[in-house]
């Protein structure tokens, strides 16, 4: 009887399977290691770098655009501030014009009534006057006060009424400027005022353009001293109308020269064009009278200088203004009228035949 061989736990086929499995595992390990050590292609790196550079460029462009928006916003805020100031100035001028119009009819009626009560036809004046028209032609303007100050504008515009003629004389010699028809009239007005200063009064005369100077042998003159009055006339005749108009300096000078004056008379033809030595005036892009950077100046800026000068340094006394004509000066009559009216004074724009 044949003995059956005992079965073995492993045979050739099983070993083959195990060997194949082990080989597969080794292959997997080799593949994983190969992939881990394989570098990223250079083309992919370049693509990523280009994309990063494009992103940075876009970020810079956005930042520049943001900066431009911020600058535009700041400029808009500054412009808004300038517009607010201009609106405020226009409101002041509008109020002044309305008040002047409301008072005009009453004042005209009052002045017409004063014609009959004017000074005598023939005046006994210590100063010789030449020109047509009697003293009562001004319809009520009287020189009154114990301590009288007089401001005489001798800027370039005081030579003539038309701007083109002013420019021509401005380019000419001093003698041609002094021969200007409006300047000749200005001197007659100044002498008219001096001739009617009360004998018991004192008077101080300041001439102004871009600067201011006290006229006469002394700062304060007695009207009854004929030599003092004649010295004032001589200095007036020597003036040359030139340069700009600094009302601030003129008011400061007359105020410091004659601190206790009780009446002020001003001869001018328009609003100031410059201002020096002032503190507290807020300059804007379109109005820079302190720095002197403006080659031209508009009406709004001149009105601001006028209002600031009056508010800061004008003496609180009755102020009378003789406003001579000037082409292209529409704001001056209302503003000067308002100034004179607020102080109890009188603003007049006399006819060309006076004095």
Task: Provide DSSP, 71-127.
Answer: HHHHHHHHHHHHHHHHHHHHHHHHHHHHHHHHHHHHHHHHHHHHSTTS--SS---SS
Distance CA(342)–CA(311), nearest Å, equals: 12
**91 falls within a domain:** no
Please tell me the predicted confidence (pLDDT) of residue 134.
46
Q: For position 334, what pLDDT does the model report? A: 94
User: How far apart are the C-alpha atoms of 147 and 315, rounded to whole Å?
Assistant: 13
Question: Which pair of tokens denotes residue 88?
Answer: 């405020």
Q: Residue 171 belongs to what domain range?
A: 130-276+299-348
d(CA 15, CA 1): 33
> Rounded to whole angstroms, how far apart are CA atoms 328 and 157?
11
As to burial, measured by CB atoms within 10 angstroms (0-12 exposed, 13-18 middle, 19+ buried), residue 166 is: buried
Q: What is the pLDDT, as a whole number, of residue 120?
A: 45
CATH of the domain at 272: 3.40.50.410
What is the number of domains present in the chain?
Answer: 1
Is 267 a domain residue?
yes
Rounded to a whole number, what is the largest CA-CA distance in the chain? Answer: 184
| In-domain check, residue 190 | yes
Q: Do the domain assignments include residue 90?
A: no
CA distance 302 to 275: 10
Residue 246 lies in a domain: yes
215 falls within a domain = yes
Whether 337 maps to a domain, the answer reads: yes
Could you tell me if residue 253 is inside a domain?
A: yes
The per-residue pLDDT for 319 is 97
Pick from 232, 230, 253: nearest CA to 314: 253
Cα separation, 269 vs 248, whole angstroms:
16
Residue 44: what pLDDT?
74
What's 287's DSSP letter? B
Tens of pLDDT along the chain (355 residues) come to 555 555 555 455 666 777 777 777 777 777 666 555 555 567 877 777 788 888 888 888 888 888 888 888 888 887 877 778 888 888 888 787 777 777 776 666 666 566 555 544 444 455 655 544 444 444 568 899 999 999 999 999 999 999 899 999 989 999 999 999 999 999 999 999 999 999 999 999 999 999 999 999 999 999 999 999 999 999 999 999 999 999 999 999 999 999 999 999 999 999 999 998 888 898 888 888 887 677 788 889 999 999 999 999 999 999 999 999 998 888 999 999 999 999 999 999 888 878 8
Cα–Cα distance, 284 to 83 (Å, whole number):
10
The answer to whether 204 touches 258, Cβ cutoff 8 Å, is yes
């Amino acid at each position: 009887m044949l003995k059956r061989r005992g079965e073995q736990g492993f045979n050739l086929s099983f070993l083959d399977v195990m060997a194949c499995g082990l080989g597969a595992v080794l292959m997997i390990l080799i593949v994983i290691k190969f992939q881990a050590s394989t570098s990223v292609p250079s083309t992919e790196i370049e693509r990523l770098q280009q994309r990063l550079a494009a992103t940075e460029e876009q970020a810079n462009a956005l930042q520049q655009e943001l900066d431009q928006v911020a600058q535009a916003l700041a400029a808009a805020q500054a412009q808004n501030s300038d517009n607010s100031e201009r609106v405020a100035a226009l409101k002041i001028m509008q109020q002044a014009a309305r008040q002047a119009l409301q008072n005009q009819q009453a004042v005209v009626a009052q002045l017409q009534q004063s014609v009959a009560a004017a000074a005598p036809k023939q005046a006994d004046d210590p100063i010789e006057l030449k020109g047509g028209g009697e003293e009562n032609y001004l319809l009520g303007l009287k020189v009154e006060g114990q301590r009288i100050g007089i401001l005489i504008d001798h800027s370039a515009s005081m030579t003539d009424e038309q701007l083109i003629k002013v420019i021509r004389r401005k380019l000419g010699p001093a003698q041609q400027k002094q021969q200007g028809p409006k300047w000749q009239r200005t001197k007659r007005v100044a002498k008219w005022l001096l001739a009617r200063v009360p004998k018991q009064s004192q008077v101080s005369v300041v001439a102004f353009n871009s600067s201011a100077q006290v006229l006469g042998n002394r700062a304060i003159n007695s009207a009854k001293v004929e030599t003092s009055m004649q010295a004032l006339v001589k200095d007036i005749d020597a003036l040359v109308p030139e340069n700009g108009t600094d009302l601030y300096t003129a008011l400061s000078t007359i105020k410091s020269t004659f601190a206790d004056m009780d009446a002020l008379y001003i001869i001018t033809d328009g609003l100031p064009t410059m201002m020096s030595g002032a503190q507290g005036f807020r300059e804007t892009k379109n109005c820079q009278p302190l720095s002197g950077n403006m080659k031209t100046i508009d009406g709004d800026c001149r009105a601001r200088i006028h209002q600031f000068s009056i508010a800061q340094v004008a003496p609180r006394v009755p102020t009378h203004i003789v406003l001579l004509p000037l082409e292209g000066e529409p704001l001056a009559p209302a503003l000067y009228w308002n100034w004179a009216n607020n102080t109890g004074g009188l603003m007049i724009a006399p006819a060309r035949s006076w004095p």
